[in-house]
């Protein structure tokens, strides 16, 4: 089983949770690999930091190009970043890379870009990509003010796309968030899939995905 990881927004910890899932599955003896189909924001070598972290967390050998087929210099909405360099994100290229990785691994963790409905080209968005991959979705909820609305809207969008939401993760972004536990409970009451774990506040400059793996209950996922 592989999973598509989406978030309530950009910067909510998709990469951290994706890497943690890779470590957790690897601890079960599975061959795992991360996949970042589209990344906006890269270094002088056309490498994206999030994609590099995913590659490092995997257990199979894969080239950077396999892990991240589309990487654009500007850290802006992906369809705009692609347009800036005269490119267009083509799903067939992504699906080909995914098939290569899936042929080598037991688990492919696919990290989306931005939120669930962010545009990827003139006609398609991240939800369309998840549909094309036919993967169950894991939602990362950034626990901060406004998260209830963002989380519930995203769950509705996943359902509207006729995809299975396999579970969600509460990632604490605000160390001093008022009523944190009550917000988590409010989401548990309204999201009818397992809460896979609550990730405590992390050092944003150097989050520890191996340590975070211990907070995830992957046994709650349907295998």
The pLDDT value recorded for residue 46 is 81
Q: Is residue 84 part of a domain?
A: yes
Q: Is residue 121 part of a domain?
A: yes
Q: Name the residue range of residue 139's domain.
A: 7-147+192-220
Q: Is residue 103 part of a domain?
A: yes
Query: Does the pLDDT value for residue 223 go beyond 70?
Result: no
Q: For residue range 103-126, list pLDDT tens digits in order.
A: 999 999 999 999 999 999 999 999
Q: Is residue 162 part of a domain?
A: no
| pLDDT band, very low/low/confident/very high, at 44 (cuts 50, 70, 90) | confident
Check which CATH number belongs to the domain holding 32 and give it: 3.40.50.300
For residue 175, which phi and psi values (nearest 5 degrees)?
-60, -25
Q: For residue range 131-175, list pLDDT tens digits in order.
A: 999 999 999 999 999 999 999 999 999 999 999 999 999 999 999
Considering the candidates 14, 30, 36, 164, report the single residue annotated as catalytic: 36
The domain tally of the chain equals 1
Q: Is residue 106 part of a domain?
A: yes
Q: Is residue 1 part of a domain?
A: no
Q: Is residue 174 part of a domain?
A: no
Q: Is residue 183 part of a domain?
A: no
What is the pTM assigned to this prediction? 0.96
Distances (CA, A) of 203 to 13, 20, 92, 206, 208: 12, 15, 37, 5, 8
Query: Does the pLDDT value for residue 24 go beyond 60?
Result: yes
The pLDDT value recorded for residue 205 is 74
User: Is 36 a known active-site residue?
Assistant: yes
Q: Where are the alpha helices (DSSP H) in the chain?
A: 14-26, 49-57, 64-67, 78-84, 91-102, 126-133, 147-160, 180-190, 209-213
């Amino acid at each position: 089983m592989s999973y598509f990881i989406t978030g309530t927004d950009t910067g909510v910890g998709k990469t951290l949770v994706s890497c943690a899932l890779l470590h957790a599955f690897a601890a079960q003896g599975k061959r795992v690999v991360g996949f970042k189909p589209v990344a906006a924001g890269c270094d002088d070598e056309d490498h994206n930091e999030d994609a590099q972290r995913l590659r490092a967390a995997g257990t199979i050998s894969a080239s950077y190009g396999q892990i991240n087929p589309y990487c654009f210099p500007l850290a802006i909405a992906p369809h705009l970043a692609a347009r800036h360099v005269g490119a267009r994100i083509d799903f067939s290229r992504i699906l080909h890379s995914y098939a290569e990785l899936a042929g080598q691994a037991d688990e492919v963790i696919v990290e989306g870009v931005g939120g669930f409905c962010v545009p990827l080209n003139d006609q398609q968005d991240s939800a369309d990509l998840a549909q094309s991959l036919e993967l169950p979705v894991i939602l990362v909820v950034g626990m901060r003010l406004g998260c209830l609305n963002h989380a519930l809207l995203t769950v509705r969008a996943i359902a509207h796309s006729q995809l299975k939401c396999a579970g969600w993760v509460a990632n604490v972004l605000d160390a001093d968030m008022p009523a944190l536990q009550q917000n988590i409970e409010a989401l548990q009451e309204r999201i009818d899939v397992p809460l896979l774990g609550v990730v405590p506040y992390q050092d944003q400059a150097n989050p520890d995905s191996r340590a975070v793996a211990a907070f995830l209950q992957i046994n709650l996922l349907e295998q």
